[in-house]
Structure 1
């Protein structure tokens, strides 16, 4: 299982390249497909790192997790469902201006009503497809959300992390991939990058390879794919 390293990583590469201070590793258009205008557009478009207030519902139950190895950032990574996180934590993250500037399809305010509908739409993905987004907890503290979401027949990967957890991005991404190719038994995972992205180095380091282009909501994206390892 991946450890949380503070040293050089693909995530750190993108942090240094971002003029806004938010590390953008992947661009995905994650649409919730529900009627609320704000929520229908505000679905994760990138592996982004942002800052919020750590608000965690005490009722959150732990799902199989990973403990960091010696010599790394000490902390236990837990994958929880979005329903197990206090709505205030998600609302703060989704309204952070450093996140919104990387979400060209996001409009309006993401408030309590929008959050409720958005979480319900994400939960529906688990029931329909058998996978969906998680909330990420490190030692019980809300670190962000992301994971996998169905998009155009593929399972797409994206992460959205609080600033305090920027250095954990690659480890969390690798954990998600381990879930995808392990318990979930998915044949492949994709990542989408907009043509404006100057480099795909971070995605390539995670084992993804170019796989053509795709159009979502009238926008073109470069698609990268990582297939499940041979058994």
Structure 2
């Protein structure tokens, strides 16, 4: 199954409310990913995690823009980790019964992600336990430890930037978030919680430079251009 997180704000992009519902390329940003996921082989359920107080907005948007697609709705939490916890609590019975084997999590702010990226995340997670798309960071430098108070990078070390979708085997993911709840742990992303509470070896796979995250106002125009490119860049 797959989930799209749409419980954040849009202050940096200049939105008055939730940026997930900004119009990008003729439709709300969030519905691009929901639509794509509905066409990914192996994805049998799609969940929209909405911000508290926005259920009506979420349902109205999906009904208007994706009337033929079945979408489930889960209320998000006060943080990304909290939203993922709510999602896993919602799925817990199906995970424990074995009807949900892998959970794929994607950000609504990445509307250009295509079916191939989602499909790769699912297959890698099923084989290895966890999957995260990553791209090398070409514009970083190593700083001297005695000048900035951090250790030098090992020789030959590579820095990468991670994207979503991220995918994980469901039983281990649920166990990790239950343990995190007991400890009061609040991770920055899904893989951080998995790394802290399981032995799952999260594998990276090549991300896509077109899979941009809409964070600032100029990103909207970039996303629109990518989504309207001939041949559908997704």
| Richer in helix (by share) | 2
Structure number, greater radius of gyration: 2
TM-score by length of 2: 0.30
Which has a greater percent of strand?
A: 1
